[in-house]
Amino acid sequence: MHKDLVSIDDLEPEEIFELLESGLELKKKRALGIVEPVLQGRTVVMIFEKPSLRTRVTFEVGITQLGGQAIYLQGSDIGLGHRESIADIARNLERWVDGIVARASSHQTVVELARWADTPVINGLTDREHPCQALALAMTLREKKCDLRGLKFAFIGDGNNVAHSFMLLSPKAGMDFVIACPEGYEPDKQITEQTKDLAARFGTSFSIVRDPFEAVKDADVVYTDVWVSMGQESEAVEREKAFRSYQVNRELIDSAEREVLISHCLPAHRGQEITDEVLDGPGSIALDEAENRLHIQKAVMARLFA
């Protein structure tokens, strides 16, 4: 396995499935009260430039459950890239800690941390990717569907960081992927081309469509995310107008003509990208996915930091 988890691109298909099985095993052991102190005597620093509930709590709890110790630093505490260069911060941290988790505004920040630190680095979210979120959903689908291969994954909404990680993961996991988004809000062109190449390599399909009803037809999984991500607040009015017809609601879900699993990376803007009826409905696995963030991240940390 690669030294770091900066992108889903760092993982080969067999490594993804190994992590999923490890996450499921760690979850089972936790339920039975079995302790896995693989990080005993290890210290992990968590650098967060952005607010967080799920990412911070699941990483910090996960480090504790594995017997390690977490140090939480806000970006302002160290002036990442301002008070001190990222290279210097990385080269200092590698002398003290056994792992780095970084939730950064810019993807390049995490790339640079991984470049300069011999200590392994995990991406806890950037403007380009959210690999731990993608792995958490994959683990949840493994629980619910057993086999990911052959599933159709429909993403409704903005071609953002979360969509990027799902795009890169889907072909490696054997899933077909379709994203429905308005013109001008497509995924990154480089990641789109990379996903097309992966789909051709692994025998899956990938497409970008405008009609959400077309996207969800025969889907097994329907996913959405906020229309206005952190840092895009100035675009809120324009974005809400552009995405108005991309709400995941009962009408859209019923049009799939089959039972589908529905999820959201959270936090959700209820009544915008998704309705209460759907998010709280029987097909929703959003909270299961949030729970599995803890266990899949433990699997990643056990692999990289132990």
DSSP character at residue 98: S
How far apart are the C-alpha atoms of 283 and 248, rounded to whole Å?
A: 12
Residue 147, classified by CB atoms within 10 Å of its CB into exposed (0-12), middle (13-18) or buried (19+), is exposed
Structure tokens at 86: 């990222």
Measured CA angle at 102 (ends 139, 294), to 5 deg? 30
DSSP character at residue 229: -
**CA–CA distances in Å: residue 162 to residues 91, 135, 298:** 29, 11, 20
Q: What DSSP assignment string belongs to 232-244? A: -GGGHHHHHHHTG
Strands 221-224 and 152-156: parallel
Structure tokens at 250: 């009962």
Read off the amino acid at residue 209. V
What b/e sequence results for 53-71 when a residue is b if at least 16 CB atoms lie within 10 Å of its CB, and e otherwise?
Answer: ebbbebbbebbebbebbbe
Strands 176-180 and 152-156: parallel
DSSP character at residue 278: H
- Which residues participate in catalysis according to the annotation? 103, 130, 133, 225, 265, 293
Structure tokens at 121: 């680095």
